């Protein structure tokens, strides 16, 4: 059986194999030798990890769109990425909801726990957010979500995609931060990447389900990642876990409100 035929018969499985394979293979190729030798990673190493991760879902999404519909797959995807004429309230949600929630958590914790949680401002985080949002959602929302939705329904598909998206981070996050977090790396990953980001995926899906705009999903992803990268304070591992545990709880509370109030996620 040809590779193209397998891709067409198993589009979802093929997409995730490609997204994981490109990202994980690129990460290991970029810094694997250095990491396993115990050498510290430098800025250029972190940049290579980031670029390898961006390549995974974006290239996988484009490849699978082309293979599954050679003539119109990519043009249709690009049209959904250009869909900007939606109600202003969805633009407000996509742009402002993630940073508003995150900065509220930081301000409350800085007041109740200590000044360590005071937000900071790192301008480069804006660029990180924009790149992550634009490239990743080509695959996650542009290709994978509609097929998961058709198979499982909207809410279940959102949670499944959130979990799969979380696991996709595991290699880069381990290579990039396990030395820093030590024995706290796994709880940090489970609370931040799995628990909090799965909730954020449900909120991204909520916006997409009401707009059918991949662009809005890209904007909300950029807003979320950009907020974390721009405002997140440098904390000890235990404080970092505490911060993202509270943030995850707030995100899931918002998800509960959205699910109970919105027909689009039922």
Residue for token pair 């035929």: 5
Query: Which tokens sit at 222?
Result: 């950029």
**Mean pLDDT to the nearest integer, 100-122:** 96
pLDDT of residue 186: 97
Cα distance between residue 89 and residue 115, in whole Å: 34
* Domain extent listing, the chain: 80-265
Q: How confident is the model at residue 6 (pLDDT cuts 50, 70, 90)?
A: low
Write the DSSP symbol of residue 1.
Answer: -
Neighbours of 103 (CB within 10 A): 14
Answer whether residue 71 shows pLDDT above 60.
yes
pTM confidence score: 0.95
Spatial distance between the Cα atoms of 129 and 261, rounded to a whole number of angstroms:
29
The residue count of the chain comes to 266
The tens digit of pLDDT for each residue in 12-21 reads: 999 999 999 9
Average pLDDT (120-144) is 96
97/249 Cα distance (integer angstroms)? 15
Tell me the per-residue pLDDT of 223-261, one tens digit each, with 9 for 90 and over: 999 999 999 999 999 999 999 999 999 999 999 999 998
CA 79 to chain CA centroid, nearest Å: 22
């Amino acid at each position: 059986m040809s590779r193209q035929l397998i891709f067409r018969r198993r589009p979802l499985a093929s997409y995730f194999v490609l997204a994981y394979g490109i990202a994980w293979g690129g990460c290991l190729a970029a810094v694997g030798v250095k990491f396993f030798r115990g050498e510290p990673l430098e800025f250029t190493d972190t940049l290579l990890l980031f670029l390898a991760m961006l390549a995974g879902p974006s290239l996988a999404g484009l490849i699978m769109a082309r293979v599954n519909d050679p003539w119109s797959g990519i043009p249709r995807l690009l049209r959904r990425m250009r869909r900007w004429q939606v109600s202003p309230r969805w633009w407000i949600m996509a742009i402002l909801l993630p940073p508003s929630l995150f900065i509220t958590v930081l301000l409350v914790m800085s007041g109740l726990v200590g000044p360590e949680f005071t937000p900071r401002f790192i301008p480069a985080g804006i660029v990180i957010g924009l790149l992550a949002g634009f490239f990743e959602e080509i695959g996650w929302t542009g290709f994978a979500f509609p097929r998961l939705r058709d198979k499982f329904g909207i809410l279940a598909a959102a949670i499944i995609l959130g979990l799969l998206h979380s696991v996709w981070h595991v290699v880069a996050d381990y290579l990039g931060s396990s030395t820093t977090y030590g024995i706290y790396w796994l709880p940090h990953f489970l609370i931040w990447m799995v628990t909090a980001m799965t909730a954020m995926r449900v909120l991204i899906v909520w916006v997409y389900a009401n707009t059918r705009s991949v662009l809005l999903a890209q904007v909300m992803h950029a807003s979320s990642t950009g907020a974390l990268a721009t405002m997140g304070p440098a904390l000890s591992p235990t404080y970092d876990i505490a911060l993202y545990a509270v943030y995850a709880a707030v995100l899931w509370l918002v998800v509960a409100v959205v699910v109970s109030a919105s027909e689009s996620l039922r």
